[in-house]
Every structure is written in structure tokens, then in C-alpha cells.
Structure 1
Amino acid sequence: MNKYLLSSGICLLSAAFAGTAQADGSSDVTADILVIGRSDLGMKVATETGSRLGLTPLELPASIATVDGDTIRARGDLTVAEAVSRAPGVTTIGNPGNGNTALSVRGFTGQSSVLQLVNGVRLFPTAGTITFPTDPWNVERIEVLSGPSSVLYGQGALGGAINVVTKKPSDRRELDLEASYGSQNTMHFAAGAGGPLGQVLSYRADASYRRSDGWVDRGRSESLSLGGALRFAPSDRFSLTLRGDYGDNKPMQYFGTPLIDGRLDPRTKRRNYNVRDAQMHYRDDRLTLTAQWAISDAVSFTNTAYRLSSKRRWYNLENYCWIGATGECPSGNGSGIPGLIRRLDNLGIVHDNRQLGDQANLTIRSQLGSGLANDLVLGFDVNAIKLTYSNNFAFADQSDEVDPFRFDPGTFDGKANRIPRYLTRTSEWSVFAEDRLKIGQQISLIGGFRYEEDRVKRRNFIYDAGGNITGQVNAFPNGARQRKFENFTWRVGAVYQPTPNLSFYGQYSTGVDPLGTLTTFTTNATQFSFTNAKGDQVEAGVKASFLDGKGSATLAAYRIVKKGLVAQRTPTSPIEQIGQQSSKGIEAALAFSLPGGFALDANGTILKARFDDYITGGKDFAGNTPSDVPETAANLWLTWQGLGGLRAQAGLRYVGRRFSDNGNRFRVPGYAVVDAGLSYAFTPDLAVDLRVYNLLDKDYAATTYSDQQWLLGRPRSVDVALRAQI
């Protein structure tokens, strides 16, 4: 752990806590500690993700959902991915290879189709991996924009965009504390504070530490998250906010449990087939500076500059398969002695990644005449990404066969062979515009466009016989020094509001996805000339707010088509960019509060995702469901705020069956997991929580790592937490 950063974080928190305690001991916090969270779908609260025009969900011709940060912590969600998968149509497909953060939305999966943002600024993945942010403790809310989002945020957002909005400085003094302990020796200690520091300064500071022994052998994990922000606001029209975040994460070194004869064997579900000295370690350090200036009542300007440094390490023996009676692995990973587990892919990988960027937009609001109003946003986005990629792939040939039930984990072989292989320099610039024309009080027309240009340069390192770097060589074919991508995307939609609480909408939008990951672009001569895959969506829906704002409902139907997949008609034919996949579906959500302290949040999705035209290696996948895509999913959460400081809650998470391969040979069964909780407030500022995860102790595959290698979810676990507001 970086001792300087940790010391700085502790000092920042100490100062924050000192600032919270006033000389007279007063506090502005009056809310009962159990009254936390609000409806996940606030229809009349402006979102930061669905539009830069400051529109509410009722005013947007798109599907936008919000998961409130207090609700996340009340439910006991442990990760950002776990929290956001409570939103309509979102499921997690996270595994150690993608930083445990990848998601599936509307039939499209992974970091190249579901964009992830922090405070509206996109994160650029490396080899399909993102590891930031690390903890939901300092999250104010998570917003989900479903469907193509390239017009707003650029390439890699055909399925949707996920925006994590962190807690901000405020003028209200607050201090939150939590300490918990539970099953698998799981511990959590967290603190957060905020408030004014004089007339023009305010702050926010958060720290969260987690550790656990995990639910498999050698399953220890540990993480530290620090965040702080200082806001300078000399007037109501101008503010400058400096924010820093640091994450140090050592996740569980668990790549999954191999099936035996196609089934999960109860004797292996707590076994960890990784090596004894496996390592996974992620460090992310982010700094942002945001300026907001209301030039006049009609004109405003926002600019955000940022720097993100990510350093990631993996040393693992990653793939396992059971050798059947024929002596072959069902997934085709070789042969061996029947009845044993074959372990292979002894991989060492290091990402040294740095991102710099700046995003600005100018908003102009005007009245065009009687009953006509227009809002316009003009902006630009520039980014530069520097990556050094190291691995041991040339030496990663360690494999062995072990007894499924009794074996020596062994140690990692080849760490010394993990050396820098190549570096890439990726630059991006784009210009965008968004406009809304409001006709009277009931009709709005909304549109936008984005032009983006991405350039990727890649150089491979050259080594001498002694293993010393002697130079670099251009990696692209035909003497090319770089690869340039140009994309133009647009969207147009309409909203009809017969009443202020009801809206009908329709939208057509376009998007682009890279073929893989932009920053680790392939050097394959055939694919060098390919463009990004292109897609479009047609969507229509209805939204409503009722019960004086205590209830909301949404219903959306959509169809997305993605063209330009890489395909190969026969094993000997050329690779072409001719494939196509599509998805169509329905999403619905309902949230409301009732007298007597009862509240309900429910959502669900039904979709059909298919390869329409996709042949690779002579295998025709047309009609198949893409891997990692569940075609049904639902969430239900019930809460009862009782008398005498008592609160009870229960939730159901359902994920339908999916496949771990595009050929649909390996089916992963669906699952339903029940969580529950009971809270008691001793005072309005002090409460204890009892949280039960996986109440029915369901064995299930949360996701997969290979065809028959399941990453199992947490078994039944009980945590007890003490929370305080001061």
C-alpha cells in the first residue's frame, strides 16, 4: 500500500472529523438513522447521465434508472457491480480477468459495449479491464442509461452507460461511521464526513476498509478506498472542486470451480484450484478538477480535467477442466488422465496505465417565442491514454493434473518471465451537441450528435539474448505508424407529457463499439483495416410518477442491431467484417411507498438476444444467444419501517439461464437469491443492522470464466453492522 497516500488520507479524514464537531456540539442532522435511501426511480430529479441538458427522467426520451447510495448501503451491497445489478436489465458478468466489473445490458456485454463512467467522465478499459471505483461507500448514486450512449460518451456504449456519482461537498455538516463483522471473518470499517469550512469552502472525505477470508480455500481479500473533495465557491455563480480518489484492492484469487461431468460437485465448491502464491493487486489513483460557471441566467459553462493512474498485477494459474472418461476436457482444453482436473494458463500480466483528459460543455437556454423554449449544449472531449503492457505469455506453459478433492496447490512458475511486451499511445478528441426544443408544456423534441476521432499507436519492445530491452519496433503492418477511427453518431427523440406526471416517448439512436479494446488494439494485418462495429436502436416507452411523488413506474420496449462483427465463412476463407447480432426486449420498473411504513421496489426484463449472421472458423452461430447474456432478470425489494426504531427488509435477485459460449453448448442455470435484513435504532443517531446474504444458501454460478468453470456466489452469510450519524 502507498504509505504516503494512506497517511494523507488519514490526515484528511482527521481534519474533516475535527471540522464536523462544532464548539457548541450542535449538529444539523435531524433525520432518523433508519430513514435512509429513497425511491430508486425519482422521476422528477434531474440526472447527470441521460442528458447534459439537466433533464429529469420524465423529460428524457430514453431509459434512465437511478440507484441511490443510501439505499445501496442499507441493503448491504458490497461492490459497485453488485449494487448496479439491482437496476432494470443490468446483470454482472465480472470475473478476475475484467477486474470483476464487467456488465451485461440489453443483450450486449463487457467493457467494449457497456461504458463505465465516474461523475460523467468515461473510463478507458485495458484489455477489457476496469478496476475503479473500488467501493460503494462514497457513492451518492449510480445512474444507468440503457441503450446506445455513444452520442453522449463516445465509442464502446452500444448496450448502455453506467455512471457512478460520488458524494460531493455540501453546506450541511455530517459524519457517518460504520463497523461490521460477519461470516468468513468479513470486516468493514468506514467513515465519511462533510460540511462547510468557512464562507466559501466546503469539503467531503470518505474512507472504507474491507477484508474477508472468502468462501473458498485461500480466499482472502482486502481493499482500501479513500476519497476527498474540496469545493471553493466564492459566489452562487462560480465554483471550483478538486477531488482525489485512491483505491488499493487485493481481490480473492479465485478463478472459479470446474464442473465434474458437467455438474457442480458439492465436494469441490469450496476448493480453490489456483496456486498457493497467486496474486491479484489493483491500485487506482484519480484526481479531477471541475469548474462550474453560471455566466448568466441563460448561459453556463462546465469544465472537468482529470488524471487517472491504474496499476494492475495478476500471477495465477487460471483455467481448470475435468478430464472425462474419453480422456478429453469437454471444453477442448487438452487431454489427460480421466477423473483428474487439468490446470493450465500460468499467466503473469501487468497493466501500467495512465489517462489524462478534459471535458467541457457550454449550455445556452433561450425563449424563441410564445410557447417555445430551446436548450442547447455544445462541448468537446479530449483524452490521452498511455499503456505499458507486460506479460509472460511466451513462457506460460505450466500445466498439471490434480485430484479434484486432494491436491497440492503448488506455486506460480514464470514470474521472472513477466516482462514489458508493448506500449500503446491512444488519443481521442470529439465534439458534441445536444438540443431540446420545447413546444408548449406537453411536447419536446430532443436530438444530438457526436463526432469522435481515435488514434492508436503501438510499439513492441525488442530484447537481446540477455533479456535486455534494446529498442522498439512499430507493431502495425505495411509500415503504418498508427490506426485512426472516425465515428459519427446521432440520436433524435420526442416526449409527450399529457400531464406533468406522465410521459410517452420514442427515440432512435446510434452507437459504435470497438472490435475488442481500443487501447490494446490488435496488430493483425487482416483486421488492421476494419472499422468499429456500428449499431442502432429504436425505443419507445411510458413513464409515470404517482402518489404525490412517492411512486413511479416505467415501461420500455426496444430493438438494437449491431453490424460489423468479425466473421470467417470457412476455416480457409478471409476474415471479414460482415457479422450481425441483435436484441429486442421489454423492461419494466415499479417503486412506491405506502402508509404504515411499507415500500416496494421491483423491476424486470425479458429480451431475445441473437446472432443474426455470424460464422467463425466455419461454425455457424446464427440463431444462438451470445455468451453471458441472460434473457430474463428481475429484482424485488420489500421494506417495512416499523414502530419503535425497527426496520425489516428482504430482497430477491433473479437471473435467468445463459450460456458460457457462443455455440450454446454449455448452459449455465439461472438462479434466485434472497437477501434479508433487520435494523434497530437505539437513538436517531445510532443503529445496529443484521444482514443475511443468500438466505436459502443457494449454490449458483454468479458468472463464468471458461466454458465449464463457474465462479460461485457467496453462500449464506450473516453480517452485523453498527452505524452512527454524528
Structure 2
Amino acid sequence: MRAALLGACCAAALAAPARAQAPDSPVALDEITVSGAGATVAPGPNLSVKTNAGSRLGLTPLETPASVDVVSGDVVRDRGQSSIAEAVTQNAAGFSFIGTPGNGFGAYSSRGFTGVNSVTTLYDGVRLYPGQGTVTFPFDTWTVDRIEVLRGPASVLYGEGAVGGAINIIPKKPLTDERRNEARMVVGTDGQVGLAAGSAGPINDRFAYSFDVVGNRGDGWMDRGDHKNLAFSGALNWRPTDELSVTLTHDGGHNQPSRYFGTPLKGAGNVETDWIGENYNVRDGVIRFNDTITQLKAEWTPNETVTLRATAYYVTANRLWRNAEGYTWNAGTGLIDRSSFIAIKQEQEQIGARADATIRTELFGMANEAVVGFDVNRFDFRRLNNGGYGNPDLNPSLPPTGFDPGDYGSASPYGKDYKAITTQYSFFFDDRLKVTDTLSLVAGLRYDHPEVDYRNVRTGDTSNPTLNSISWRVGAVYEPIENLAVYAQYSEAADPVTSILSLPKSQADFALSKGRQVEAGVKQSLWDDRVEWTLSAFYIEKNDLLSRDANTPTITQQVGQQSSRGVEASVGVELGHGWRIDANGTILDARYDDFRESVMNPVTGEPESVSRKGNTPNAVPETLANVWATWRFAEDWKAQAGLQYVGKTYTTAENRYSRPGYALVNAGLQWKPTAYATLDLRVKNLTDKTYAYTGGDYQWYFGAPRTAEVALHLRF
């Protein structure tokens, strides 16, 4: 079957019209250069590419006193990384994936901190606020121009949250002086089929456009694992004058992932391999995410000293779950007991605007560049649910294999649960002062004022918390020789204890958790960017964690402190003779410095407070590494392989059980039969490793076994 698919794709490529021209570079980025029939794309860290990941000043990573990665979309697609999660965790240093259906597959761990509040996702600069711990967009990399990653606290840039880092996905943009037309077809194991197309270029002297769309479907690697999705991105750019640019964009996605909520263990930490391919969800389970984001942007540069920018945006998210989510092996009966029969709808709407001005002047004879601005947002979040929790008709026990999963049905109609309207405004300031030709000072300040109007429709409970925060950062960059930078920074941040948009009355009086970081490092680019390397060391601490009260376990409280210290390194090297190596690694020491939680005493049956001081926070791997090797071994041929390593991870703060570390190998072979066609054969998880990437003591989420795909990419 695979041989037939490969042959068919080869024939299609060779039969393409001979009049097609060599492709234009699909993305206008500094790291892309066109040579002959193909493009060579620098995978990273891309120290000379201007980015807004580390500041709003448009500095390069070399000029920024922080750890910043710029991951090119072309590199991501060339490596076969079709999901945002693959692109981030297999290229950026220090990130691991902990996504589940409940958090929308948008959760990560970075620098010892986890979840959608501590690792923030943005789309084209717009922060995607999580509703009840969920972020569901974006998910596919076809529409991506690049991914900008900031490691460490990012509150000074994006507001409360992001003490562990921030991920900003930048979509493809209109091209004003070249054209891009491309298409991709993918077939693979487990019934995988994918189609994608894209186009960009000038319409006339004043208008330019871009449009990209991608759709995928498959049967999944587990029983009843069928899935499908569609993502799109479109933009229209108007330049009435050389100084003014106006862009309208509309992006979105419809995602129905596999209805898989993990696999129960045969006792804590005990994996029964025969159970991994089973799906213990109900037959008619549903997971459905629909997201859109529309933006209108204007940028005016009347002269060399001033740039004005304004953005208005409208974001929607509609989500639906109807599943049996909890599975526990019953040692007494030998059956799998199902629980958490939950049907939930989320309706989320965000209307906002941001404006800022960049001013370039001199201060006491020194070059100074400053950005000052504000943003405002209004969020409307509504949650509806079905009252079928624990209904015995919906809660049968199943044998581990050979079972009838049953149907959820409709135990009761959906009813309104709660709604919350949140208004938020902020003011921010970034500044860079060139003290000398070799020394720069970079500082930032942000004030945030979110106010929540919460109302529980079922109980009538209301609350109106206000969660003000001030975040700031100061850093220095010293460049003793050209393209070698030594930096240090100190920053303070704020982290919400839970999703602000769905803050319940019971937590309305809680303060934001406070975080602070000290970081120092060195970065260098050598030999016309053929060698780039970075090294950083950091210490982060976060106070006022969330825990359950020992006397009343149903009540949560804020206590204690956790911290992490670590070292991160990355390197990219063009070795010559067609070889390139990219690698990064992280070593962490993450721990609870002062933290107590309520547990049930097995002897007395009463709750008691237990210290977790010195333990590692759950879902935090303390060692991570990525290595990619590329070899152009013949004209029009390329082989590549990647190794991703994620270390052992504890499943709870107790540190009694852990998920083993794992190493995944991905490999690919690429052939360019013509100047406009590329044929890829890729194998993911080459060694067929059995691994779990997230989960608790008794239920783990396993990753896919070995899969293969053939992809034909055409440019014309």
C-alpha cells in the first residue's frame, strides 16, 4: 500500500506541466534565501530576525535580554510537524506538551510551570484568554509564517499570566513584491488524508492578499479514533500611501479531534499494553471546537522617528464536549469503572483594541527607542452543561477489552451554568537606550486592570473581583564583539490562580500569584549565521499557590511558593557537505519551596495537611532535549532525522508515582523531481515507542505509535 502511494505521488509530480516556473520564496523572512531550484531555510535560533516576542520594539533575539526562539513555518512544514504542539516542543528549547481534550490541546510546560495560564498562547499578537482552562486555536501549521517563543515571564508584554513563557503564532502575510502559489497532498497510515492550498501576492500597486486553507481527516491510531479538521487564514493589505498600511485578516478553524481521554492503568503506574489501543469513551462521544479571529490593523510611519499602530479584533470560540472522561481499573472486579460523564458547552467572545506609538529620539546624546500604548478588551464567557453526572444508566463498568462502549444519550437537556463578563484595560511601556555602541539597556512596564462580573445561573451566586497587577522588567545587553551578546535581566510577573474569564465566587477574593525571574546568558552568531548558539541560566519563583484547606477540603486557599532554576542551551550549525545540525537542551531543578495540601488520612479517614516541600511539581519534566540532523546527500535529495527527549515526570505533587521519560525518533526522505515539486516520505515515532505524555496516577494519555505519510508539495 505504501509503495503504491509513493509511486502514485511520484508520477503526479513528474507529470506536472513543464512550463511551471521555479518557485518564489513562500514567506518573506530574513532567514530564507533562494538558491537555484529550491530554498534553504535556517531552522533557528535565528538570532538576526526581528521579532516582537521579547519586546514590542522589534528587536532581534541577539538584541533582547531574554531567551527568544523564532521558528520558521517553512522549517516546521519541511520536518513534517503538522500540529502547533509538534512545532513548539520539537524546535523550541524547554517546552513539553501536556494537552488534553479538556484544555483544548493548548497546554504546555516550560521552565517548571504548567498550563494555559502559566504558558500563554497568542495569535498574531492577540492574546487568547483561556475560558475555564481551555485554549483551542490554532492547531495546524499550514497557515503559519513563523512561531515566536519567549521563555520565562512574559506578563510585561501580554498581561497577567505567562510566568513560564509565551508562544505567539504568526500567520502567513500578503506579499507585495512576489507571488506564492502552493498546494499539498498527504496520505498516510491510519486512514490519514490531507489537502492544503495557499496563494499570496500583489493585486496591484496598492493591494496585496494572502489566503491559505487546510483540511485533514483520519481514522486515528486507537479504536473509534476518527478525527477531522479545517483551518483557514486570509488577509487583504491596502497601502494608500508609502507611509500607511491597512490590513484586514480573518482566520479560524473547525476541529473535531479523536474522542480519546486516555487509558486507565492497572494500578498506579502499571501500564497494560493491551489496553492502550482501546477507547473507553462512549460511542457517541463528542469533541468539537470552532474558533475565529478577525483583525483590522493600521500602521502609519509619517517619518523616521515615529510609527503609530492600531489594531481592532474580534475573537469567538464555541466548544462542545459530551463524553465519559474518567476511567479507573477496579482490582476487585477486574473491570474498568467509568466516571465523569460530562456534557459541556462553552461560548466565548472577545472584542478588543490595541494602539501604540514607537518614538525614536536621543536622550542625553544616546539613541533611545520607546513604545507606549494601551489595550482594552471585553470578554463574554458562558458555560452550559448537562446534568447527567453520575447517572447510573450512563455509568457502567466495562471489561478492559472486547466491550460495548454504550451511548451517552441525552440524560437531561443543556442548562445554563454560569456566565461572566470581563472588562480589561492596560497600559504598557517598552524602552531601549543605547548607552554605547556595545551596551544597551532594555526596560518594560505594564499595568493591567481586569474586572470580572460573575453570575452563577443555577445558584444565583455573584461576584465582582478586580485583579490589578503591575509587571516590569529591566535588562542589559553587552556586545563586546560583533554578533556576540552577553545579557542579564530581572523581571516581575503575575499569574492568575485559575482562568480569569471563569473565576468562580469561591475564588473571587484570591490575589494573583506573584512571580519573579533572574536570567543571564550569552548568544552568538558566527560565519554569516552558519553557526548560532545560545546559553542561558535562570531562577524563577512563584508565590501564593492554590491548595485545598486541610480542615475543609472543598475550600481552596493560597499558600506557599514554588521555584525553578535551570540551564538552557541551543545551537545550529551548517557543517558543510550538505550537513546541518540543530540541537537544544534544558536541565531544570523545579521544586515546591513551601507548599502544603490536604489529603485523606487512610487510618482516621479525616483530612490532614501534608507538606510537599522539596517535591517536584507535577507535569514538569526536568530534562528535555531536541536534535535535528539534515543531510543533502545528492542533488535534489535530502534525508533528515529528529530526536525528541522528555524526561521523567511526576503525576502529582506527592511525587509517589511518575511517568517514564521517553525519546521519539522522527525521520524523513525528500526528493525534488522538478523545480516546483517536492515529495516527502516521513515516519514518526520510528522506533514504535510506547509513551505517555500526560496524565495522573491512574489514567495516562498515550502518544501515537509509529506512523508514516507521503506528502506532495507543489509550488507554481
Measured on the aligned residues, the alpha-carbon RMSD in Å equals: 1.8
* Structure 2 residue aligned with 1:490: 472
Distance in 1 (CA, whole Å) between partners of 2:550 and 2:189 is 52
Segments of structure 2 that go 5 or more residues without pairing to the other structure are: 1-16, 26-33, 599-608
Determine helix, strand or coil for the equivalent of 2:544: strand
Change in 2 beyond 3 A, CA 1:27/1:581: closer
- CA apart distance, 1:410: 0.5
Distance in 1 (CA, whole Å) between partners of 2:682 and 2:401 is 32
Change in 2 beyond 3 A, CA 1:77/1:32: farther
Distance in 2 (CA, whole Å) between partners of 1:490 and 1:687 is 47
Change in 2 beyond 3 A, CA 1:543/1:388: same
User: Quick one: which amino acid aligns to residue 210 of structure 1?
Assistant: N
Determine helix, strand or coil for the equivalent of 2:74: helix
Change in 2 beyond 3 A, CA 1:698/1:27: closer
Contact 2:341 2:388 in 1 (8 A): no
- CA apart distance, 1:24: 11
Deviates more, 1:571-580 or 1:482-491: 571-580
* Structure 2 residue aligned with 1:528: 508
* Structure 1 residue aligned with 2:76: 72
Distance in 1 (CA, whole Å) between partners of 2:538 and 2:60 is 20
Contact 1:348 1:414 in 2 (8 A): no
Alignment of 1:545-694 (within 5 A): 545-567=525-547, 570-571=550-551, 576-617=557-598, 618-694=609-685
Distance in 2 (CA, whole Å) between partners of 1:42 and 1:593 is 13
Determine helix, strand or coil for the equivalent of 2:239: strand
| 1:510 and 2:492 correspond | yes
Distance in 2 (CA, whole Å) between partners of 1:675 and 1:221 is 22
Distance in 2 (CA, whole Å) between partners of 1:700 and 1:60 is 37
Distance in 2 (CA, whole Å) between partners of 1:42 and 1:25 is 29
Distance in 2 (CA, whole Å) between partners of 1:510 and 1:606 is 23
* Structure 2 residue aligned with 1:304: 311
User: Quick one: which amino acid aligns to residue 316 of structure 1?
Assistant: N
Change in 2 beyond 3 A, CA 1:219/1:276: same
* Structure 2 residue aligned with 1:319: 326
- CA apart distance, 1:42: 1.2
- CA apart distance, 1:257: 1.0
Distance in 2 (CA, whole Å) between partners of 1:184 and 1:193 is 30
User: Quick one: which amino acid aligns to residue 621 of structure 1?
Assistant: R
* Structure 2 residue aligned with 1:475: 462
Determine helix, strand or coil for the equivalent of 1:98: coil
Determine helix, strand or coil for the equivalent of 2:634: coil
Task: Give aligned-pair identity as a percent.
Answer: 43
| 1:281 and 2:288 correspond | yes
Distance in 2 (CA, whole Å) between partners of 1:622 and 1:408 is 45
Distance in 2 (CA, whole Å) between partners of 1:33 and 1:655 is 37
- CA apart distance, 1:227: 1.1
Change in 2 beyond 3 A, CA 1:531/1:41: same
Change in 2 beyond 3 A, CA 1:286/1:396: farther
Deviates more, 1:392-401 or 1:580-589: 392-401
| 1:341 and 2:360 correspond | no
Distance in 2 (CA, whole Å) between partners of 1:32 and 1:321 is 58
* Structure 2 residue aligned with 1:267: 274
* Structure 1 residue aligned with 2:369: 375
* Structure 1 residue aligned with 2:352: 357
Moved over 6 A (4+): 23-27
Alignment of 1:431-446 (within 5 A): 431-446=427-442
> What do the CA deviations read for 1:36-86 (whole angstroms, capped 9, x no partner)?
531321111111211111111111110001111001001111210111112
User: Quick one: which amino acid aligns to residue 155 of structure 2?
Assistant: S
Determine helix, strand or coil for the equivalent of 2:41: coil
Change in 2 beyond 3 A, CA 1:237/1:637: same
Change in 2 beyond 3 A, CA 1:710/1:33: farther
User: Quick one: which amino acid aligns to residue 560 of structure 2?
Assistant: G
Give the number of aligned pairs: 675
Contact 2:387 2:412 in 1 (8 A): no
| 1:697 and 2:678 correspond | no
> What do the CA deviations read for 1:329-387 (whole angstroms, capped 9, x no partner)?
xxxxxxxx2x11111110001101001111111000112355x1111110101111101
User: Quick one: which amino acid aligns to residue 542 of structure 1?
Assistant: V
Work out which of the residue numbers 145, 151, 154 in structure 1 matches 2:156: 151
Determine helix, strand or coil for the equivalent of 1:281: strand
Contact 2:23 2:676 in 1 (8 A): no
Distance in 2 (CA, whole Å) between partners of 1:187 and 1:381 is 41
Contact 1:156 1:512 in 2 (8 A): yes
Contact 1:343 1:399 in 2 (8 A): yes
Change in 2 beyond 3 A, CA 1:38/1:393: farther
Contact 1:148 1:537 in 2 (8 A): yes
Distance in 2 (CA, whole Å) between partners of 1:286 and 1:298 is 32
Contact 1:395 1:414 in 2 (8 A): no
Contact 1:37 1:69 in 2 (8 A): no
Contact 1:39 1:550 in 2 (8 A): no
Change in 2 beyond 3 A, CA 1:557/1:353: same
**TM-score, reference length from structure 2:** 0.92
- CA apart distance, 1:497: 0.3
- CA apart distance, 1:561: 0.5
Change in 2 beyond 3 A, CA 1:34/1:396: farther
Alignment of 1:383-398 (within 5 A): 383-393=377-387, 395-397=389-391, 398=394
| 1:457 and 2:453 correspond | yes
> What do the CA deviations read for 1:520-559 (whole angstroms, capped 9, x no partner)?
10211xx332210001000000000012111110000000
User: Quick one: which amino acid aligns to residue 195 of structure 1?
Assistant: G
* Structure 2 residue aligned with 1:5: none
Work out which of the residue numbers 70, 84, 90 in structure 1 matches 2:95: 90
* Structure 1 residue aligned with 2:50: 46
Contact 1:348 1:415 in 2 (8 A): no
> What do the CA deviations read for 1:430-472 (whole angstroms, capped 9, x no partner)?
001011110121001111111110100112225xxxxxxxxx9
User: Quick one: which amino acid aligns to residue 328 of structure 2?
Assistant: C
| 1:61 and 2:51 correspond | no
